[in-house]
A and B are shown apart, each in its own frame.
Chain A
Amino acid sequence: MNVNQSIPPVPPFGQPQPVYPGYHQSSYSGQSGSTAPAIPYGAYNGPVPGYQQTPPQGISRAPPSSGAPPASTAQAACGQVAYGQFGQGDVQNGPSSAVQMQRLPGSQPFGSTLAPVGSQPAVLQPYGPPPTSAQVTAQLAGMQISSAVVPAPPSSGLGYGPPTSLASASGSFPNSGLYGSYPQGQASPVSQAQGHPGIQTPQRSAPSQASSFTPPASGGPRLPSMTGPLLPGQGFGGPSVSQPNHVSSPPPQALPPGTQMTGPLGPPPPMHSLQQPGYQPQQNGSFGSARGPQPNYGSPYPAAPTFGSQPGPPQPLPPKRLDPDAIPSPIQVIEDDRNNRGTEPFVTGVRGQVPPLVTTNFLVKDQGNASPRYIRCTSYNIPCTSDMAKQAQVPLAAVIKPLATLPPDEASPYVVDHGESGPLRCNRCKAYMCPFMQFIEGGRRFQCCFCSCINDVPPQYFQHLDHTGKRVDAYDRPELSLGSYEFLATVDYCKVREGKWLLSFPSPFFFPSPPAFIFMIDVSYNAIRTGLVRLLCEELKSLLDFLPREGGAEESAIRVGFVTYNKVLHFYNVKSSLAQPQMMVVSDVADMFVPLLDGFLVNVNESRAVITSLLDQIPEMFADTRETETVFVPVIQAGMEALKAAECAGKLFLFHTSLPIAEAPGKLKNRDDRKLINTDKEKTLFQPQTGAYQTLAKECVAQGCCIDLFLFPNQYVDVATLSVVPQLTGGSVYKYACFQVENDQERFLSDLRRDVQKVVGFDAVMRVRTSTGIRAVDFFGAFYMSNTTDVELAGLDGDKTVTVEFKHDDRLNEESGALLQCALLYTSCAGQRRLRIHNLALNCCTQLADLYRNCETDTLINYMAKFAYRGVLNSPVKAVRDTLITQCAQILACYRKNCASPSSAGQLILPECMKLLPVYLNCVLKSDVLQPGAEVTTDDRAYVRQLVTSMDVAETNVFFYPRLLPLTKSPIESTTEPTAVRASEERLSNGDIYLLENGLNLFLWVGASVQQGVVQSLFSVSSFSQITSGLSVLPVLDNPLSKKVRGLIDSLRAQRSRYMKLIVVKQEDKLEMLFKHFLVEDKSLSGGASYVDFLCHMHKEIRQLLS
């Protein structure tokens, strides 16, 4: 059993309770084994070899593409229609002309500053060293941007209209080194050299060199060659420059930008030049110091200056485009953090320590503060006063995942049993004993660290203090030395005691009985027809053996029950003494009740024969059903009533297919109306249709009845309404649109297994206490609140997260810092009542700089996304987006104003900790909820909205900025996960294969000119054209590549809480549109800004605020 393994020896106390950990992984998710490896990212820039190979693709493409130049003005070169439109066309278009054209600009710089350009890829690393830690100033000169516009002409020539394209183009350049895309365009020689079917040798050669990073050399020679092509290109590119919305400041003059650039650049360039030669680009990864980002910045600059300087030369307009590689790269930040912080365990003993990024694989040692796996804060240094907080506009929030699953090598919280007296608490604020409590008077009393109240220590708890004032037994007691631990709750916590405890307990039981799972299966025509019912029943037979159990319990204490329904409900009596199951039909859906008591909820082992018989028969019984109508509210009501009758908490698993239109409470009508989008009424699409669902949810919460909803819609089912109950009861919603057994079986079963097996706390109440000065004011997540302080959760699992926002209500003290204590009272799956406590100490500051130095952008984004997603319920989407942008601008402006060293107004300076804020925020703004594309259904939006509401930081991170992994760039033997590339089309090389995942979706993108061998070994077909587009399973082939890719897919899936269905996308295929939706750095079809454009826009906003 994994269970056992999960016990790491770390702490000194009794034995850790194995409780949750291993469980789910066991049996079911056959992947248990694989999970481990998933993480190993190591710092790798693996790309090196990759590059060289990649370029070839470009080549191959070029020709064909050029042939068919659909793009209007665009050059035929763009070849790829898709690309072309996106404006990136450059990348490939590159084939020759376009790319080069762009290059030119870039290239010119080479000459001068060049080093950077060519080196860029390489550059990154070199910079690393110089890192000026605190504030990296990213400068995007608005000027530049504008300038970029100017240069547009060339770009326009490309036909890719928007400036973006230009930018990207230029960006691509440098990248080329790193990424395949680039090289294609130019690097002919090299590429060829590398074994690419050299097609257009001449042109390439030059570029290739560039890629090879022999900047100086290349610089010279190339120019000419480049120009050649360029010219034509430009010719094409009409001046037409469609500017992205955001591009703000047009005024900039080429020169100024240049200057600005230089300013910041100043330092870095030298570095570059120096190092570049020495380093090879590829090594970047490994070398990169913590400050990876800086290098980036550096690079752009160089480019800029060059432009400035060489404007005259070849192409006068050399785009002053913002170099994409010059702007902060999420990938780089992640890689750097991984390299710098992934090796050492994160020890929580120090107050206000910023933990490693969520993307970094690190070990946590609990020494008094809760692990970041439980709590992450937007800032670990809180302004002392509300004035400061207001000025900074940085939201103060904590993302709490109270029952988070820990990796096997970290100990789960110790369970402390204080016997009948129960846990020791502060008399005034009721905070629980924790390491921050101060013992005084020789240990006879303690002062509450939250409210300063002085309490007596009960005699049985008394212990002497040592000379430092610490209790002698501090290290023997988890509650005095750890950040997270559990108390066994006493009887007092099991019943309602009005007014006595601050926490109110909805549980009406004296001692809770073990919880129950009720499976409620839609057996209407749709469910039968798709084969869902048969599949589900088959699966349940074995799945029931894996219900969550407590610690080392031999069998699960959880009882199960079964209900099927269409427009009436069928309950089943599966009492062990029966020879065959009994079905009881309740048609009175208007007034639901539970028709039986005894025999509905049973122990799986005792009633196995009857249950099996039942599950065998359900699909048969309804095989000929013609009933298409379903009900919904009565189903949940029935489940809740059943739990009430059995006097226990529990979980309902609801498998539902259609809009509940049958005559019953909660009847819905189809109100999907896309015309509402972008109107003031758009919010109604997110609101439930009737209040019946909320009312029901409230009752469910009171009963401790959590609902997990599996939806299998063929059409609109009004997710916004149906998900209300799961949402308010702490449950999950899964949606499988157009479910078909053949295609979706694996995904559904995998989700189901995981969902059924995961450890759940029932009938929970969470309360967050803080030290005087701040206060929890707002909560986001899947739960219900009947007052302003207690978060009530009918059920809470290891994936659910509650985000809490704090506000000042007084002054904080720099010395004592700010403390958080999150107490969760819940019923374990064995029916034990427990309290889980997480403590976290934060620093307080009087200098804004300290605040900005200790922020965590990922958490910030998590909060902002949730805030915005809740906002759409009440405000027009546009208003919500504007609010986000404004807040972001204010945060950055405040920094610029108060913390950054004086510099030109045209310079964009971002705090080191927040340099990714714009790119991430842009992703949030472009997300389906806030800016839906035409293909996004109302249901999808509602679905995503509620998903995000309870996501943790890691999930939101990847959800908003998907990971794009090149598969064929690193050597096949390499066992580590490949380093991601930025989510932009220009990073794709058509000779490569990529995986893209965002936690919900998984795409395998196949470039059009991938080597045959690769195609053969992955898909078992002989050519690219034979690959089935939309394929969801890779054939199991016995070759290293296939194994590796499938292994990688498995490990990615293992990292996510939901099974990601694979979709194979071929370049230039219809499906590619879907895929491109996830390339979040690019301009989106629905109008979302590209990263560069947004950054410009942000800069403009900031400048406005500053002036």
Chain B
Amino acid sequence: MATYLEFIQQNEERDGVRFSWNVWPSSRLEATRMVVPLACLFTPLKERPDLPPVQYEPVLCSRPTCKACNVDVPALIELFPSFQFPPAYGGISEVNQPAELMPQFSTIEYMIQRGAQSPLIFLYVVDTCLEEDDLQALKESLQMSLSLLPPDALVGLITFGRMVQVHELSCEGISKSYVFRGTKDLTAKQIQDMLGLTKPAMPMQQARPAQPQEHPFVSSRFLQPVHKIDMNLTDLLGELQRDPWPVTQGKRPLRSTGVALSIAVGLLEGTFPNTGARIMLFTGGPPTQGPGMVVGDELKIPIRSWHDIEKDNARFMKKATKHYEMLANRTAANGHCIDIYACALDQTGLLEMKCCANLTGGYMVMGDSFNTSLFKQTFQRIFTKDFNGDFRMAFGATLDVKTSRELKIAGAIGPCVSLNVKGPCVSENELGVGGTSQWKICGLDLTSTLGIYFEVVNQHNAPIPQGGRGAIQFVTHYQHSSTQRRIRVTTIARNWADAQTQLRHIEAAFDQEAAAVLMARLGVFRAESEEGPDVLRWLDRQLIRLCQKFGQYNKEDPASFRLSDSFSLYPQFMFHLRRSPFLQVFNNSPDESSYYRHHFARQDLTQSLIMIQPILYSYSFHGPPEPVLLDSSSILADRILLMDTFFQIVIYLGETIAQWRKAGYQDMPEYENFKHLLQAPLDDAQEILQARFPMPRYINTEHGGSQARFLLSKVNPSQTHNNLYAWGQETGAPILTDDVSLQVFMDHLKKLAVSSAC
């Protein structure tokens, strides 16, 4: 390994792991002084085309308290001195070495043959209070999706509006559904009783033979294999009507999302607990009645805004949130996940419902209408397959983290819930979801990433011998989309270093990108429960402390302040993070905030960085496309800009370019190069669009266009109406904002870092 950069990259490629520190401070005290905690971003299902699954089961350390999987044995033996080879390894020879004993297999995937395989389950929960064309589009998408599902997957359909209907799919000649009032919350037991899922366990009934035979039938009345009811369901979807109950003027339609979800959860809970299942909620508006209602049906009362929430004016929010949290927890407990596809111009209550997706690892997709390519393609993309022809999704995973004894686990942030497994390696200090060494991730895809935080517990006075290594093992049990149970084991070892003597090493091994994302996750996590300004202050303080610790400066001399290469970008990330919608709620609805945060908490490092600091490419006649600073000075008249914020792809034509295009030069053969120039960003955008999930909002605008605001709000406002004339030159575009620019931010940072006051 030549540089740390390469090392980091290689590690990420191989194990899906990015640590904030790649050389670990060897004592607790030093570790806390490092400001940025020892943590990693872990992508459990990191796509590994080269990794052949091993067909046997993992071998465990024989010590009952350990149970680490014996991957990367050489390292392990070193790290876990007590590791005992199970007897099975008696006949190991150099020639016939099992994979775990080869060092390059720090990640191994086992396939487990035991246990009944149960098919995947997709339960559609569809809102029928939609506009006609929206519903039509949604119906088509759903019908299309049937052809994408594995033939043996089970599908179910629940529709809701004023009432909730659970459709029975196996009936011939008549379509059957169970109907529930949309205003009444029901317990899982009630739901199952009402759906006839419980066996009629009435003692009074005399022996009724042949009952057991019936059971499998009962449970699958609502969930049928796609191949069996393909036609039926297609017809059924085709016949879906808008909610027939009249909606009077000035009212919202009555939408029973809360009950519908509750029933979906209850249905799966009763029939297929602990089996991979997706509840896919398609909704076109806020829940307006029953448990989980977010807003009343009076149109004149608007749905809550951040302002209302701050003023404690959102009367339904707490109750609704509680309802959905309860559902989410139950769902997670059963190993199912909930996707939310919310398409509406106004808010749909994602704020309240977010936990359903967040806690269960489900997707959250927000769009303006089901009749947009954004939704259609996003939805389609869920069912894309990997090179093996498998879906890029997995279910019901548990992530078990084991550490060598100098480390403890502080917590995790990501689409997971705690399994509350206390153990010796669990820290008392919680960062994120803590207090456990195991988490459940009910739904994950190949990029789902958790931030996992550790604590060094080694005492200063008990130094680790030179060259000692610390080890962490991630064991992920999950249900592969092929319905196989699999276990993926990743074992990581890093060197310890004494921070006093070897600070250089540690500094050099700092992964500022990972650190930025990890810190951002912490910040966003806090923002969910704390006031925005507090979080910002906390972030600032951390940044200042980091600068104080690792900057080189003379006291009280801001001008002397320097940061080494491995830290140089970090402050800039923090600057953009502060401005990001993850922490700033201004100009965002609560739903949007929830949506952004949801994705931030599950995407891998690359995507997360894009979210924090969007990428800006410039296309011009001056040279090949190049990335440029995310700065207002980059907005020039003769350029085409392509900005990727993860959620949006913006193509912005500079003033001149726009005029040219207006004049139609691109159509003239002699200006073919202009045509190419115009085409280039489009092609690149397409490429991004193809790969991204969820589909970003695609914006094609030009200088002066209303949509240009997406670009203008993101760039560093180096030029504003305040300083424009002072600068006096005509480069870039002034931004009408009072926000501080990066320059001002950095100046302040330096000043504070070098100040001895804090």
Interface residues of A (CB under 8 A from B): 568, 571, 578-588, 591, 593, 595-599, 613-614, 617, 620-621, 626-628
Contact = CB atoms under 8 A, between A and B. Distances in A.
B239 A579 contact: yes
9 contacts: A568-B194, A582-B177, A595-B163, A595-B179, A599-B244, A617-B173, A617-B174, A626-B200, A628-B205
Q: Give chain A's interface secondary structure class.
A: loop
Q: Which 3 A-B pairs have the closest CB atoms?
A: A587-B194, A595-B179, A598-B244
B176 interface: yes
A158 B449 CA distance: 107
A524 to B, nearest CB: 13
Most buried by B among A580, A614, A617, A620: A580
Most buried by B among A578, A579, A583: A583
Most buried by B among A571, A588, A591: A588
Contact of B196 (A583, A587, A591): A587
B165 A584 contact: yes
Interface string B165-181: 10010010111111111
Contacts of A587: 178, 180, 193-196
A620 B171 CA distance: 11
Contacts of A595: 163, 165, 179
A588 B180 CA distance: 7
B179 A571 contact: yes
Contacts of A591: 181, 184
B245 interface: yes
B311 interface: no
B244 A596 contact: yes
Contact of B174 (A568, A582, A596): A582
Interface in B196-221: 196, 200, 205, 208
A593 B180 CA distance: 9
Contacts of B179: 571, 584-586, 595-596
B175 A613 contact: no
Nearest to B190: A588
Nearest to A585: B178
A587 B197 CA distance: 12
B253 to A, nearest CB: 13
Given A580-B175, A585-B178, 9 more contacts: A584-B177, A584-B179, A587-B178, A595-B165, A596-B244, A599-B244, A621-B171, A621-B174, A627-B200
B127 to A, nearest CB: 17
Nearest to A599: B244
B449 to A, nearest CB: 42
A620 to B, nearest CB: 8
B328 to A, nearest CB: 24
Given A568-B194, A588-B194, A583 B205 contact: no
B244 A581 contact: no
A581 B174 contact: yes
A621 B221 CA distance: 14
A591 B235 CA distance: 31
A586 B174 contact: no
A587 B166 CA distance: 11
A490 to B, nearest CB: 28
Nearest to B202: A629
Interface string B400-426: 000000000000000000000000000
A563 to B, nearest CB: 12
Contact of A588 (B177, B181, B196, B205): B181
A781 to B, nearest CB: 37
Contacts, number: 72
A320 to B, nearest CB: 63
Given A580-B175, A613-B173, A617-B173, A588 B165 contact: no
Given A587-B195, A587-B196, A591-B184, A582 B244 contact: no
Contacts of A617: 173-174
A707 B679 CA distance: 74
Contacts of A597: 244-246
Nearest to B178: A585
A1047 B579 CA distance: 97
Contacts of A582: 174-177, 239
Contacts of B245: 597
Contacts of B178: 584-587
A212 to B, nearest CB: 68
Given A587-B178, A587-B193, A597-B245, A578 B239 contact: yes
Contact of B173 (A580, A585, A588, A628): A580
Contacts of A626: 200, 208
Contacts of A621: 171, 174
Interface in B435-492: none
Nearest to A582: B175
Nearest to A597: B244
B179 to A, nearest CB: 3
Contacts of B163: 593, 595-596
Nearest to B205: A628
A999 B333 CA distance: 66
Nearest to A629: B202
Nearest to B176: A583
A626 B205 CA distance: 10
A582 B235 CA distance: 12
A591 B290 CA distance: 14
A585 B176 contact: yes
Nearest to B236: A582
Contacts of B195: 587
Contacts of A586: 178-180
Nearest to B246: A597
Contacts of A613: 173-174
Contacts of B193: 587
A614 B178 CA distance: 17
Contacts of B165: 584, 595
Nearest to A593: B181
Nearest to A663: B193
A599 B200 CA distance: 32
A397 to B, nearest CB: 48
B744 to A, nearest CB: 62
B663 to A, nearest CB: 54
Nearest to B214: A626
A586 B196 CA distance: 11
A599 B239 CA distance: 13
Contacts of B174: 580-583, 613-614, 617, 621
Nearest to A662: B202
A579 B175 CA distance: 10
A1035 B205 CA distance: 43
A614 B176 CA distance: 12
A613 B172 CA distance: 12
B500 to A, nearest CB: 69
Contacts of B239: 578-579, 582
B227 to A, nearest CB: 22
Interface in B655-680: none
Interface string B351-380: 000000000000000000000000000000
Nearest to A569: B179
Interface string B617-643: 000000000000000000000000000
Nearest to B179: A595
Most buried by A among B171, B176, B193: B176
Contacts of A588: 180-181, 184, 186, 194
Nearest to A583: B176
Contacts of A593: 163, 181
Most buried by A among B174, B194, B239: B174
Contacts of B175: 580-583
Contacts of B171: 583, 621
Interface in B131-186: 163, 165, 168, 171, 173-181, 184, 186
A797 to B, nearest CB: 33
B753 to A, nearest CB: 64
A585 B244 contact: no
A218 to B, nearest CB: 70
Given A568-B194, A595-B163, A585 B177 contact: yes
